[in-house]
Amino acid sequence: MTHATLEEFILAICEQPRWRWAARWFRLGEIIVRAPSIRNASNTMSFTNSSMRCPSDIEALGCTGRSVRGPASWFGFDLDVGHGGTRQRYRTTEDAITAARQIRNALDGHAEIRLSKSGIGVHVRSLLPADLRLSVSDAARMAKDIAEALNIQCDRSVLGRQAFWLWCRDPKPDSFKLIEEHIDD
């Protein structure tokens, strides 16, 4: 698998029972990759070409929700626990889950709540209706508006990037644990 393209790697991941859930959220419009061979401060890079070779030392993989046609397919919220600025984090995972449920309720259940890659933070993702063609920046604005209206403590920079990890090589026991499912129409 070391010479697979990013798309092939994602497809192989999503065939595995532990990662099948991620198929709903992976989009090939903008893929984010973390690998030691990526030589920058965060060892991360985004790709808009899914036929690029997947690094053999890949540690984490995600995306921004940008579809291959350009508009956003989903938007999300990152509720940090124990790190980030004091105004941007929650004291406990349970506190973050409570806030995530506020978001989900405001979206009439059209949001999935999962623990983050660390198994401590909380991510909320909501699919956009197919006929609603929002740019990623408009989807980010919508997430920021919802967070502001509900007074949600969340990482505003992630809301701007709309980039979320969906897989990691060495998951922790609660990495990506499902809390609440997305209700579909």
| pLDDT above 90 coverage of the chain, percent | 81
Domain ranges of the chain: 6-63, 74-161+170-180
Residues 6+ apart with CB under 8 A from 49: none
Q: What single DSSP character describes residue 55?
A: P
Q: How do residues 148-169 score in pLDDT, each as one tens digit?
A: 999 998 767 767 778 899 999 9
Long-range contacts from 13-20, C-beta under 8 angstroms, 24+ separation? 13/61, 13/167, 18/171, 19/166, 19/167
Reply yes or no on whether the pLDDT at 3 is more than 70.
no
Q: What is the DSSP string of 90-136?
A: ESSHHHHHHHHHHHHHHTTT--EEEE-TTSSSEEEEEEPPTT----H
pLDDT > 70? residue 116: yes
pTM of the model: 0.92
Q: What is the mean pLDDT of the chain?
A: 92
